[in-house]
Structure formats: structure tokens, C-alpha cells
Amino acid sequence: MAGQTRPLADGRRVPRPESDRAVVISGTVPSAQCRETVLRTVREELAGLAVHTDVVVAENVTPDYAEELP
């Protein structure tokens, strides 16, 4: 497989990765829609790589109760 290339979504070509390489994508996003956009982009741009994701949604909503501090 060495020396072969693969296309990216924008038409550029990049070398195909070795099979033992992996990418980790982690982080926090504000919505489920944003998470899906990130994961779709990762799948498109990193096709052929082993990809491990840990992308969580942290929605910013106002609490509906008061927090009690010790």
C-alpha cells in the first residue's frame, strides 16, 4: 500500500496511511447537530484511518432549580 494516495473531499490527494495508525477525536460540542457535523467531517476527511471518537454534547440550558452548596 505504500506510495498510494487517496482523495480528500476537496479534491486534494494525500498518501494512504499505514494500517497501524489511528486518530483520536475528543471534545465537547454545544448540540447534537454540531456533534453529527463533526463526526461526518471526520469520516469524510479521515477515510481509511482508524478513528476513535469521544465527542460529547454539553447543552447550555439554564438550571430549573437552585444549587445547594455545603
DSSP state for residue 18 in the 8-state scheme: P
Rounded distance, CA 14 to CA 6, Å?
A: 5
**pLDDT for residue 2 is more than 50:** no
Would you say residue 10 lies in a domain? no
Would you say residue 32 lies in a domain? yes
Would you say residue 47 lies in a domain? yes
Higher-pLDDT residue of 3 and 27 is 27
Would you say residue 69 lies in a domain? no
Count of the separate structural domains present in the chain? 1
Which segments of the chain are extended strands (E)? 5-7, 13-15, 22-29, 50-57
Contact predicate 34/27, CB 8 Å: no
Would you say residue 29 lies in a domain? yes
- Residue 1: closest CA among 22, 14, 17, 13: 17
Would you say residue 44 lies in a domain? yes
What local confidence, expressed as pLDDT, does residue 28 receive? 94
pLDDT tens digit sequence for 5-59: 777 778 888 776 665 578 899 999 999 999 999 999 999 988 888 899 999 999 7
What local confidence, expressed as pLDDT, does residue 40 receive? 95
Would you say residue 33 lies in a domain? yes
Would you say residue 56 lies in a domain? yes
Rounded distance, CA 45 to CA 43, Å?
A: 6
